[in-house]
Homo-oligomer: A and B are copies of this chain.
């Protein structure tokens, strides 16, 4: 699939995130590959996945564009979603059609700035599609300016500046869709059909859902809370 085909394939659709970080009950590349397969059969138009091993296993099961990330928590740094060129290279090598990386203004490894990091990634992999995971309008506009292909609202609610924001952040999606000149991806905090319908009215290119579909522990918590309330 070339970049144009990737962009067309996910357009207007649901990308299902199939992730289980180390220590989670479903931590297993095998299980994640079957989750992705189930999502594909259910109508997903793309998969978002974490770790090289998971993406490898998923690519054997499904024929959908993959938004690849590598979560790597580094002491003293705010950013952990694909934080350095090392993770970018690994994701290019495993064939992730889109690579998502933290594009917030948080602190990065080795004192590198986002602009330096992204310039080196683009320089090394000029034909790779990149998605910026941001938390605010300013971050989204900056990511658009420095050349990201997609702007995702993944980190809204998860940075110091945005903690406690009601999700999904419809106003942020509307403003980025209108102003960034890039393809906007709604990600984070979509738990109901009403929320999903509302993000699709903002002008986005596609939406990503994870926890509400592929994290049975989180889904159980969500419903148990409803009983207790």
Q: Which residues of A contact B (CB under 8 A)?
A: 12-14, 16, 24-26, 28, 31, 34-35, 37-39, 41-44, 192-193, 196-197, 200, 207, 209, 212-224, 226-227, 229
Number of this chain's copies in the assembly equals: 2
Which residues in B have their C-beta under 8 angstroms from that of A37? 25
- Once the chains are docked, how many angstroms separate the CA of A165 from the CA of B14? 29
- Once the chains are docked, how many angstroms separate the CA of A31 from the CA of B220? 16
Can you report 5 residue pairs joining A to B where beta carbons are below 8 Å apart? A13-B224, A41-B217, A42-B219, A44-B220, A213-B219
A218 to chain B, nearest CB (A): 7
Which residues in B have their C-beta under 8 angstroms from that of A218? 42
Which residues in B have their C-beta under 8 angstroms from that of A24? 38
8 Å CB contact of A216 from B42, B217, B224: B42
Contact B213–A226 (Cβ < 8 Å): no
Contact B12–A220 (Cβ < 8 Å): no
For the complex with contacts A25-B34, A193-B226, 11 further pairs of A-B residues with Cβ separation under 8 Å are A24-B38, A28-B34, A38-B215, A38-B220, A39-B220, A42-B217, A42-B219, A42-B221, A192-B192, A212-B219, A214-B216
